[in-house]
């Protein structure tokens, strides 16, 4: 998938304007602004911005809810879910179309979670996975889903198995990237592209028809939606959640 490149002229203009932009942002801050996700100057130049500020759940809420459960909390700068279930998935307040998403995740022993995207809070969709695609987050060695190739960490859940076993041991951080661009979807895990598939075409519809999502008519039909983090009843951690739009 080709990343959107900045022209030399646009790049020069951004560099020239950046100090003034940062100063203006600093001067305009008011009470509560310190909770907003912070983005570095380098990230701003490349079009990245943060979706998680490392301090609270600003910018996130429960799926089809006004706020997030207190079982989702911030721990040592990471967004974490306590074990036991009942919290529900959380979603970004914003929706995104074509994008590149970057984040780190760490799973508990025997744990299961997921990064779900292109999620729509549509009528008839009681769960995030009724509409959105999932990058699997899993302890491959101890969770039963690890026995199924298309359910292992990094997979496009139940649709495309990861091309290589790139997941790190439980307790270690994994680096993940998801790209949705020009009718294709890519999953990257720890620097390696493990999924590359078309999206929205006849091949995609055929693939969905042969999966567990065949009974979900809204699944994988949207070109824009929320980012979601899944409550699968197990403890999981997420950090460094960043995105840049490509549309």
Spatial separation of the C-alpha atoms in residues 135 and 143, rounded to whole Å: 16
Look at residue 152 and tell me whether its pLDDT is greater than 50.
Answer: yes
Sorting pLDDT into bands at 50, 70 and 90, what band is 40? low
Instruction: For 97-134, write each residue's pLDDT tens digit.
Output: 999 999 999 999 999 999 999 999 999 999 999 999 99
Q: Where are the domains of the chain?
A: 49-245
Mean pLDDT over 50-62 rounds to: 97
CATH node for 49-245: 2.60.120.560
Instruction: For 3-27, write each residue's pLDDT tens digit.
Output: 444 455 444 444 454 444 444 443 3
Token duo for residue 9: 């002229």
Token duo for residue 131: 């509409």
Instruction: For 193-216, write each residue's pLDDT tens digit.
Output: 999 999 999 999 999 999 999 999
The pLDDT of residue 46 is 86
Q: How confident is the prediction for the chain on average, in pLDDT?
A: 88
Instruction: For 158-168, write each residue's pLDDT tens digit.
Output: 999 999 999 99
Q: Which of 44-53, 95-104, 196-205, 216-225 has the lowest mean pLDDT?
A: 44-53
Look at residue 60 and tell me whether its pLDDT is greater than 70.
Answer: yes
Q: In terms of Cα–Cα distance, which of 220, 233, 226 is closest to 107?
A: 233
214 DSSP assignment? G
The pLDDT of residue 43 is 57
């Amino acid at each position: 998938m080709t990343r959107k490149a900045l022209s030399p002229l646009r790049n020069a203009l951004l560099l020239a304007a950046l100090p003034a932009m940062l100063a203006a942002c600093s001067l305009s801050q008011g009470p509560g602004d310190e909770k907003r996700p912070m983005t570095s100057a380098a990230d701003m130049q490349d079009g990245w911005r943060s979706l998680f500020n490392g301090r609270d759940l600003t910018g996130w809420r429960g799926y089809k809810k006004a706020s997030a459960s207190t079982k989702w909390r911030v721990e040592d700068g990471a967004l974490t879910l306590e074990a036991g279930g009942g919290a529900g998935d959380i979603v970004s307040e914003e929706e995104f179309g074509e994008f590149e998403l970057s984040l780190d995740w760490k799973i508990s022993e025997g744990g299961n979670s997921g990064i779900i995207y292109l999620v729509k809070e549509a009528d008839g969709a009681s769960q995030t996975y009724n509409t959105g695609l999932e990058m699997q987050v899993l302890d491959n060695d101890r969770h039963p889903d690890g026995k199924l190739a298309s359910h292992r960490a990094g997979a496009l859940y139940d649709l495309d198995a990861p091309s290589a076993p790139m997941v790190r041991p439980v307790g270690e951080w994994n680096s993940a990237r998801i790209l949705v661009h020009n009718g294709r979807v890519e999953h990257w895990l720890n620097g390696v592209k493990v999924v590359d598939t078309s999206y929205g075409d006849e091949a995609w519809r055929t693939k969905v028809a042969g999966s567990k999502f065949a009974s979900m008519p809204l699944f994988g039909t949207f070109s824009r939606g929320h980012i979601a983090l899944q409550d699968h009843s197990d403890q999981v951690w997420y950090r460094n959640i960043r995105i840049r739009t490509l549309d």
